[in-house]
Structure 1
Amino acid sequence: MKRIFLAVCLSGIAVASYAQTKTPAKKPVAKKPTTASKKSVPTTGLKSALDSTSYAFGTSIGASLKTTGLSTLNYEVLLKGLKDAFTGSKGVLTQQQAQQCIEKALAKASSVKNKAEEAANKIKYAPIMKEGQDFLEQNKKRAGVQTTASGLQYEVLTAGTGVKPQATDSVLVHYKGTLLNGKQFDSSYDRGEPISFPLNRVIPGWTEGVQLMPAGSKYKFFIPYNLAYGERGAGQDIPPYSTLIFEVELLKVNGK
């Protein structure tokens, strides 16, 4: 379980005191507080450096916990846990039980947070998703384009005569990847050398598609978002819900 490190700035509150002078011949006249005196009046309820320190720790702990996706806690029990740990009192839970509770809560919070982000992305990137769906619907009607049961589309550019790889094989390929608008996001050709990788360690569209290729072939793949980088995309170049186009040249099947 990862530890949360809290950075805390300790602050003190300065309170200015004012004295009034009295003149025997005149009644004291109440002065209106100046801008400076207004600012010096404490309104936070923090009366000492210890109060400020304690509050600073509380806000830091709360801010750190909030980043995990937790939306609420039983604050009174939280304070009891802090006090027990700080004073060395016997805890209600064992260390193992406490860790299990934390891991379970964080996992649940992360799941809720991810679902919320996916829902927001689905709305935000709806035009990209629709663009991909419309493209694939029209593209499958083109002569030479074949569609598999998963929705993967491919076109044979060069038919090879070598062996076909299995999902557990490593392969040597040259490739180029673009978005539907033609923007290139990756190319082994530009790097000047092919790349080897295990076929079961890449996006599902590649794992399925490259297995269709005899060595020596060059195919063009049209990969729907659910067989590519899905709802999250990849880096800055591939937005969520992107349909991708790859030209892949299978140079060699390296074997297992």
Structure 2
Amino acid sequence: MYVCKGFKTLYIIELYTMRNVLIVFVVSLLFASCSNADKYKKLETSLDSTSYSLGLLFASKIPQNLEQNNIDSISFQHFIQGIRDYFDSTGTTVLTQEESQKLVQRYIEQIMSSSNKAYASQFLKNETEGNIYLDNNKKNQGVIELQKGLQYQVYYAGWGQLQPDVRDTILVHFKILNTSQKVLFDSRSKSSEPIKLPMDSAITAFKRVLPLVYTGAKLRIFSSHEFAYGTQVTKKDVIEPYQTLLFDIELVKTLKGNYTDTSRDSLYADTVKK
């Protein structure tokens, strides 16, 4: 982080990003240079006041812009130089706008990549713990292992005649649990109505297991991250990267052919028994 030795105002702003807390040092734009000879000038005219206000408002947007681009620090001298060069009547700049855009984009990509890897690495233990859980779980009675990392257990075989495939839409109630049986999501908590889910947009675990059961079935899927939500990095979700998950599912209805017109459901679907 570069700052001017004689600079009078230094703002330390804590920015909460989706990956980590960044301490961003934003230097005040009240001065045009780092020289001690530069003096603050009074606002004597309307143009002075307007110019000052524009500068202040511009500066106020810098922290937000840095946060959005995952930039944790800037060199004030070179930042100001870039502004000056842009408005220089000679049109002389150290870098062209195209070169500047490429450099900034590359820098942002490097920061995001490093941030993603650092955040995800915190959860690598989830993969190890998940593998141990699945290795032990497949020994339990009634548990069927389709392939390494994907298991299921049927509690009720269902009453219908239809089995969903990737071209269909299903109506389901489901819960997502971690390996400690803690409920992370319950579809019934938002609505008593089943969720309509096109199979082609479902996670891989659903695509592999649900075609094996019939309408009305109640089952549990045990899935490693490869068949669930992978290594996606986000702090907004309760599901962590590399996490092995359990899905308790009730297959309420199967709509053949990805039908979305509910008025025609009865023509193409098994109907829930009263």
Same fold at TM > 0.5: yes
From the superposition, tell whether residues 89 and 102 of structure 1 become closer, same or farther in structure 2 (CA, over 3 Å): farther
Query: Residue 238 of structure 1 aligns with which residue?
Result: 239
From the superposition, tell whether residues 163 and 180 of structure 1 become closer, same or farther in structure 2 (CA, over 3 Å): same
1:228 Cα deviation from its structure 2 partner: 2.3
Query: Residue 174 of structure 1 aligns with which residue?
Result: 173
Question: Is residue 109 of structure 2 the alignment partner of residue 107 of structure 1?
Answer: yes
Name the aligned partner's letter for residue 151 of structure 1: G
**1:8, 1:60 within 8 Å by CA — same for their partners in 2?**
no
From the superposition, tell whether residues 67 and 150 of structure 1 become closer, same or farther in structure 2 (CA, over 3 Å): same
From the superposition, tell whether residues 116 and 188 of structure 1 become closer, same or farther in structure 2 (CA, over 3 Å): closer
SS of alignment partner, residue 240 of structure 2: coil
Distance across 2 between alignment mates of 1:175 and 1:182:
14
Relative to structure 2, which stretch is displaced further, 62-71 or 150-159?
Answer: 62-71
Query: Residue 120 of structure 1 aligns with which residue?
Result: 122
Larger Rg computed on CA atoms: 1
Question: Is residue 40 of structure 2 the alignment partner of residue 49 of structure 1?
Answer: yes
**2:27, 2:76 within 8 Å by CA — same for their partners in 1?**
no
Distance across 1 between alignment mates of 2:97 and 2:29:
30
From the superposition, tell whether residues 187 and 117 of structure 1 become closer, same or farther in structure 2 (CA, over 3 Å): closer
Distance across 1 between alignment mates of 2:250 and 2:106:
46
Distance across 2 between alignment mates of 1:251 and 1:227:
22
Relative to structure 2, which stretch is displaced further, 61-70 or 210-219?
Answer: 61-70
Q: Output aligned runs, 1:14-25, within 5 Å.
A: none
Question: Is residue 126 of structure 2 the alignment partner of residue 135 of structure 1?
Answer: no
Distance across 1 between alignment mates of 2:238 and 2:226:
17
Name the aligned partner's letter for residue 69 of structure 2: T
Name the aligned partner's letter for residue 203 of structure 1: I
Query: Residue 202 of structure 2 aligns with which residue?
Result: 202
Query: Residue 251 of structure 1 aligns with which residue?
Result: 252
Q: Deviations along 1:78-128, whole A, 9 cap, x unmatched?
A: 554322223355366665564444334423332222122222343xxx2x4
- Identity rate, percent: 29
1:250 Cα deviation from its structure 2 partner: 1.4
If the length of structure 1 is used for normalisation, what is the TM-score?
Answer: 0.64
Name the aligned partner's letter for residue 168 of structure 2: D
From the superposition, tell whether residues 96 and 103 of structure 1 become closer, same or farther in structure 2 (CA, over 3 Å): same
- After superposition, the CA RMSD in angstroms is 4.0
1:252 Cα deviation from its structure 2 partner: 1.7
Distance across 1 between alignment mates of 2:152 and 2:75:
55
Structure 2 residue ranges without an equivalent (≥5):
1-25, 42-51, 259-274
SS of alignment partner, residue 230 of structure 1: coil
**1:81, 1:91 within 8 Å by CA — same for their partners in 2?**
no
Structure 1 residue ranges without an equivalent (≥5):
1-6, 13-43
**2:215, 2:252 within 8 Å by CA — same for their partners in 1?**
yes
**2:144, 2:153 within 8 Å by CA — same for their partners in 1?**
yes
SS of alignment partner, residue 148 of structure 1: strand
If the length of structure 2 is used for normalisation, what is the TM-score?
Answer: 0.60
Query: Residue 212 of structure 2 aligns with which residue?
Result: 212
SS of alignment partner, residue 49 of structure 1: coil
**2:131, 2:149 within 8 Å by CA — same for their partners in 1?**
no
